[in-house]
A and B are shown apart, each in its own frame.
Chain A
Amino acid sequence: MLEIGNLNAGYGDMPVLKEISISIGAGQIISVVGSNGAGKTTLLKAISGIIRSKGAIAFNHEVISNLQPHAIVRRGIVHVPEGRKIFPEMSVDENLMMGAFLHQKDYRRNLEKVFALFPKLAERRKQLGGTMSGGEQQMLAIGRGLMGNPKLLLLDEPSLGLSPLFTDVVFGAISEIRNSGVTVLLVEQNVYQSLRISTRGYVMETGRIVLSGTGVELLDNPAVKTAFLGM
């Protein structure tokens, strides 16, 4: 579904991603794990067109490298950014409406899906996004992404700063989203939880992919165990 080959990207003159190659099949959860500054967020930004990149990104056999972000969203790649970036002075409803910006026709159907996934949002429809807690904002950010009819959902650190309870809610939701037919590319520092639900995982270090395998393989890998799981 998504093929990335020899991707290089960075900020200004500073290269961050070096020769990244990743392949994602439809219906999978793929996770990219690694420590802070490994380039995980940059990878997602390059895919969604927020930053320029060199190399090939193909989505369903169409080259999408360096298209404008709104053109990439139109093709079905929706990016839920790190730090949630919800619209603080808009209500929950309005935030979700913005998520449906390109898909007004499916608004009602998608809204029902989002409220079924996160019932808490349905209780807070008039609340301003900026006044919600971190966990609620994360649910809103994911819900807002789902309003955009994603074929591929890019999730950047969805569990960052959340309580264990909310973390479980978020990871549960990610599995449900995959079960509903959406492919997920998950970037996480919570290595254990994300590899556990992933079809495949990639380990990134200083801008390169250093290890890849199925979720179970990586969880059993001694290097992963010492570096990320403290075993």
Chain B
Amino acid sequence: MLFLQSLISGLLTGGVYALAGIGMSLVFGVMNVSNFAHGDLMMLGMYMAYFVFTLLHIDPYISLVLVMPAAFVFGYGLEKMFINRVIHHPHQNQILLTIGLGLIMSNTALLAFTSDPRILTTSYSSSSFNILRDVSVSVPLLLSFMITCVITATLYLFLGKSRTGMALRATSQNREAAQLMGINVSRMSAIAFGIGTALAATAGALIAPTYYIHPLAGHSFLLKSFTICVLGGLGSVVGATVGGLIIGVIEAMSSTYISTDWKDVVVFVLFLAVLLFRPQGLFGKKGGQ
């Protein structure tokens, strides 16, 4: 029963991790940029959900209809103003820039919101129900998982069938050829970064009811997103989905069977193992950097 319990909570949390991982992977695929501000964008999503809840009294899950478009516009603007200047530069320049942007975000949040953690308590924050005698499912985790599924399915459909989605995939598979098709690849980069930001902020908003909201909360999620991307194969959206679920389950299992303090250690040991034995990730192609 303990095993089933860990598996279920792991999968439910993993869904949200997957969302954050997909955002990072999409940006990497289309732009070949590792976004080290990804965790801080997630933190901004947490605060957005928090303030929409406390000031406008809108449920954090419903607030997504505001958070997602706002984050998309923010990410689109960020790409147009900063990221596109380094898109053809070496990776270390891109990493420095995105780390810098992340520091500005987290420190602005520290100034504006102080370092006191905030808690977003909804009527259902700690409610759960039993599906078996010893196995319970947390209501907020289940809700956020279902929302994640809807968003992921919509994204798959968008990338698979829509004209813009296909152009994003084409840009990620061969940027030069995409240009020769008449695709405006710099616009595709901005759209990809906008979607990546929207997904990070959504993941942030989704965990807001079950997590401490803090200006530095993004950092652990940055490492998690990065691990998910590497595990799934950098640039692979399917890989990030699977990677997120795997990381969620591994975390839950190691909390149960080893210790909560060790769950991050287990995740990063796995990260190193992937880098050593399968550096292209589960769904990645060989030769990526």
Residues of A within 8 A of B (CB): 48-50, 68-70, 73-74, 78-81, 85-90, 94, 97-99, 101-102, 104, 144-145, 148
Contact = CB atoms under 8 A, between A and B. Distances in A.
B258 to A, nearest CB: 38
B259 interface: no
A93 B42 CA distance: 37
A101 B187 CA distance: 14
| Chain A CB within 10 Å, residue with most, of B163, B173, B178, B184 | B173
A69 B180 contact: yes
A212 B163 CA distance: 43
Contacts of A94: 166
Interface string B164-188: 0011011001101111111111000
B169 A89 contact: yes
B170 A50 contact: no
A85 B169 contact: no
A137 to B, nearest CB: 12
Interface string B229-260: 00000000000000000000000000000000
Contacts of A99: 181
B176 A73 contact: no
Given A87-B170, A90-B170, A104-B163, A98 B178 contact: yes
A73 B180 contact: yes
24 contacts: A69-B179, A70-B179, A70-B183, A73-B181, A73-B182, A81-B177, A81-B180, A85-B177, A87-B174, A87-B177, A88-B174, A90-B170, A90-B173, A97-B166, A98-B166, A98-B167, A98-B181, A98-B183, A99-B181, A101-B167, A101-B182, A102-B181, A104-B163, A148-B181
Helix, strand, loop or mixed for chain B's interface?
helix
Contacts, number: 64
B171 to A, nearest CB: 10
A79 B178 CA distance: 11
A188 to B, nearest CB: 19
Given A70-B183, A85-B177, A90-B170, 9 more contacts: A70-B184, A73-B182, A74-B182, A81-B177, A88-B173, A98-B166, A98-B170, A102-B182, A145-B180
Contact of A50 (B169, B179, B182, B183): B179
Contacts of A104: 163
B116 to A, nearest CB: 47
A56 B41 CA distance: 45
Contacts of B167: 98, 101
A48 B181 CA distance: 11
A39 B72 CA distance: 42
Interface in B170-209: 170, 173-174, 176-185
Q: Pick from B163, B174, B182 the residue with the most CB of A within 10 Å.
A: B182
A51 B184 CA distance: 15
A85 B169 CA distance: 14
B182 A79 contact: no
Nearest to B167: A101
Nearest to B173: A87
A97 B181 CA distance: 10
Contact of A70 (B170, B176, B177, B182): B182
Nearest to A94: B166
Nearest to A99: B181
B176 A50 contact: yes
A14 to B, nearest CB: 17
B183 A78 contact: no
Nearest to A75: B182
Contacts of B176: 50, 81, 85
A79 B177 CA distance: 9
A85 B174 CA distance: 7
A49 B176 CA distance: 11
A176 B286 CA distance: 39
